[in-house]
Structure 1
């Protein structure tokens, strides 16, 4: 969620409009099961494709806040490792009132975020491109390219790095995944040093995938459930 310009104190929360857009999703949006170390903050992105027949595909992406010590949220271990520019952006309070939702959003930047951690993807027409294997590869590559580019190459400028080259040959299709309490066939990517990926087909149509940082895996229970 990005907000630009000077906002009045009574500016509407964009999550309200976001929730209305999510109603367009033809299938339920999935997330990880409720657990102490993760907080679902209603940060959900929606992407879609259209053609002459209407919507051809939709993807809902859920972001979480990580609490490394959920019992004591004031524990410094919960703080993210921020660069100086981000830290200044959080600490510099403007001399004008801001919407409460914006203040909350800025303060949340102090803590580690699992951006686009869980995706629910729907395709109107089935194809190889819409398979769980293909969707998982796309999701893993997206996270690597946007969050780990600097780690993937020697250049000081992360945008100079080549795009990740994970392919479906690196996907293991012989795993089981819990979805709404039921064990179903799944696929995983367990070969990357930075992230772990897993996904499955949904009984009602569509695909759920999750890409998580290895550094946080020990804190996360990887089971999917329908978001309410």
Structure 2
């Protein structure tokens, strides 16, 4: 078997698409938290999609992550720092072997602070009967538990087995604040580590999953994201 090793450096990798770029290609409006001082939208979204016969990528979901500021009025306050292991903190303090591009340095620096990873997800409405708003919320919750609470909830190797995954039977009816109006929605309030809400909108499903430890710092209200949402949030802080 031939083995090939890449000598590509960080600068050889293109910068990922920013949220505005992805939103322009998504086809339906992207949802986000309402602007609030304790949350800063991270520039790079997580997406899923597909391409048929080599054609352009069609996005099925767009998930926005956020940096949490426990004390947004003083970002130098040590209370804003994440609870990191000594080894992780040492790796962040060490100078990179090869200087990475600016976007990588930005993502690296954000690792010092708590992240609401893939907190708000917009899923394009599907024609498949198996995918419903309820299954979308359940999948979002279990994905967050598997990736963000792996040490506490997952056994075995990758991907491993999630202990006590949520199911549709855990869903309850709930009002969800969207664009300033309470709309009929759903929540999952049974998991010890996360709280989740969701709502079926006209052409998409909104779901949000938040670690319980962060709930006291944020407002669970959502809005249709406008272009330049990151800049607007930074100015709001």
**TM-score above 0.5:** yes
Q: 2:72 aligns to what SS in structure 1?
A: coil
**Offset from partner CA, 1:109-140 (integer Å, 9 cap, x none):** 1001010001000134152x332211110100
Alpha-carbon distance, 1:161 to partner: 5.1
Deviates more, 1:41-50 or 1:29-38: 41-50
**Offset from partner CA, 1:152-198 (integer Å, 9 cap, x none):** 26x6x6758522421100110x2111111121100100000000000
The CA distance in 1 between the partners of 2:199 and 2:186, in whole Å, is 6
Alpha-carbon distance, 1:77 to partner: 0.7
What residue in structure 2 maps to residue 78 of structure 1? 80
What residue in structure 2 maps to residue 226 of structure 1? 224
CA 183–82 in structure 1, closer or farther in 2 if over 3 Å, else same: same
The CA distance in 2 between the partners of 1:166 and 1:100, in whole Å, is 38
Given that 2:26 and 2:58 are in contact with CA atoms closer than 8 Å, whether structure 1 keeps it comes out as no
Given that 2:23 and 2:29 are in contact with CA atoms closer than 8 Å, whether structure 1 keeps it comes out as no
Indicate the RMSD between aligned Cα atoms, in angstroms: 2.6
Long gaps (5+) in structure 2: 1-6, 227-237
Alpha-carbon distance, 1:202 to partner: 1.2
Long gaps (5+) in structure 1: none
TM normalised by structure 2 equals 0.81
The CA distance in 2 between the partners of 1:15 and 1:88, in whole Å, is 29
The CA distance in 2 between the partners of 1:42 and 1:104, in whole Å, is 9
The residue correspondences of 1:56-205 to structure 2 (distance < 5 A) are: 58-94=60-96, 96-125=98-127, 127=129, 129-152=130-153, 159=158, 162-164=161-163, 165-172=165-172, 174-203=173-202, 205=203
Instruction: Figure out how many residues of one structure are paired with residues of the other and give that number.
Output: 217
**Offset from partner CA, 1:36-88 (integer Å, 9 cap, x none):** 11101222111014568x88870000000000010111111100111233223
Q: 2:136 aligns to what SS in structure 1?
A: helix
Given that 1:56 and 1:123 are in contact with CA atoms closer than 8 Å, whether structure 2 keeps it comes out as no
TM normalised by structure 1 equals 0.84
Q: 1:71 aligns to what SS in structure 2?
A: coil
Given that 1:117 and 1:210 are in contact with CA atoms closer than 8 Å, whether structure 2 keeps it comes out as yes
Runs of 4+ that moved beyond 4 A? 54-57, 157-161
The CA distance in 2 between the partners of 1:211 and 1:141, in whole Å, is 10
The CA distance in 2 between the partners of 1:25 and 1:224, in whole Å, is 18
The CA distance in 2 between the partners of 1:66 and 1:37, in whole Å, is 6
The CA distance in 2 between the partners of 1:94 and 1:182, in whole Å, is 47
CA 131–124 in structure 1, closer or farther in 2 if over 3 Å, else same: closer
Q: 2:45 aligns to what SS in structure 1?
A: strand
CA 15–124 in structure 1, closer or farther in 2 if over 3 Å, else same: same
